[in-house]
Amino acid sequence: MKERLVLWGALVCALVFVLACNLPSSSSSNALDTPVVVTSAAATVALLTASPAASAGTPAVQDCGEDMDCLIQAAKACKPATGRYVTQLDLFGALVHIALQFDIHGLNDQGECAFDVATVEASVDYSEEARQQMRASGMSDEEIEAQRKMAEEQQLQAGPSGACTGQGSDLAAMLQQWREGHFTMDDWTPFHCEGGTLANAGGEIVVTVEVTAQVPEAPPPPTSPSAESDLVLPAPVVRFSHVTNSAVEGTKLYWFDLVNWQDFPPELFKITKGVPPCGQRPNRLWVIFRRADTMEEISHGCGARSPEELRTLELPLKESAGIPHRVVVDLWDRLTDKHYLSEPVTFP
């Protein structure tokens, strides 16, 4: 299986120098309540040195600011433009702010749309409810703050960066999909990118913001499982339900029912000390869709907070990427590093 990295809840690590802000001391009374904005140095320099005036004979660059309609229309026509994709998410108690800078340069000599992307801002904070849950799991305030800072740095590093080429219509479709809150592992596959993180990822991005946040490819399990590690789960019983059209052109949503969702105990959905964060939440259970023939991962999510949220599983797929004939649902207990696989489920 190819190694993949994640945006949000699912992109890739940025290979740029990081200009870290002064982080609050853990001994400060406001240290746990103040989110910190971290800015990549490369993106900051680019923003500070960019000239607003177009050179003679050069098409004027449209400044879209944070207007997504403006940026999407510019992408469709591949007209020179600059703009930001900004999102603020509540990922189950992790309050995340992300800003991506897009600079569209127009058509190159090969007739492809050329653009740059950089992650320019990332901040993470935890809600009081999430903090209380972490304390209840045995984490100290110092450990919570350390995890918050780590999540913040990871969020910045997870953002995409690079100089890319492709079709303007594909860029517009991706931005439209993001605006509607849909992210897939194939988001960047239509583009060829050089430099930065997208080149290193080979164009394969797993998104977990559901945000998927997109979460990274499975990190190693903890070496010291707790007393709950003797929990044994049943194999998931999965049935295909239906398919719907997505608002994103060329993408369909495939829905599955987890028939025996009631057999999965509530402790699987607690914040678990010692488990690496999934996005910003150290969630124990992951739901992974795999191709039945190769067991290659298609997508995964980690946001379920109760057994009821496993009743219906959603798999967004781009038709251009090819629809697998059969899939397997893999429930991964990260505390025990045990995988519970369904029987192959056939697509209609």
Residue-range domain boundaries for the chain? 5-212, 227-346
Residue type, 63: D
Looking at residue 327, what is its pLDDT? 94
What does R_g of the chain's alpha carbons equal in angstroms? Answer: 21
Looking at residue 208, what is its pLDDT? 33
Which 3 state secondary structure label does DSSP give 89?
strand
Looking at residue 138, what is its pLDDT? 82
Looking at residue 170, what is its pLDDT? 92
Q: Rounded to two decimals, what is the model's pTM? A: 0.47
Indicate the burial class of 15 (C-beta count within 10 angstroms; 0-12, 13-18, 19 or more).
Answer: middle
Q: Read off the tokens for 46.
A: 């680019």
- Would you give the end-to-end CA distance of the chain in angstroms? 26
Residue type, 184: T
Within 8 A by CB and 6+ apart from 49, the residues are none
Looking at residue 342, what is its pLDDT? 93
- Say if residues 317 and 337 touch (Cβ distance below 8 Å): no
Looking at residue 109, what is its pLDDT? 93
The separation between CA 311 and the C-alpha centre of its own chain, rounded to angstroms, equals 22
Beta bridge partner(s), residue 88: 97
Neighbours of 229 (CB within 10 A): 14
Domain 227-346 has CATH 2.60.40.10: yes
- Say if residues 276 and 211 touch (Cβ distance below 8 Å): no
Looking at residue 261, what is its pLDDT? 93
Could you tell me which of 316, 319, 272 has the C-alpha nearest to residue 298?
Answer: 316
Looking at residue 95, what is its pLDDT? 78
Mean pLDDT of successive 10-residue stretches along the chain, which has 348 residues: 36 30 34 41 38 54 94 96 85 76 95 92 83 83 86 73 91 87 73 77 36 35 44 89 80 90 86 60 79 87 81 85 88 87 88
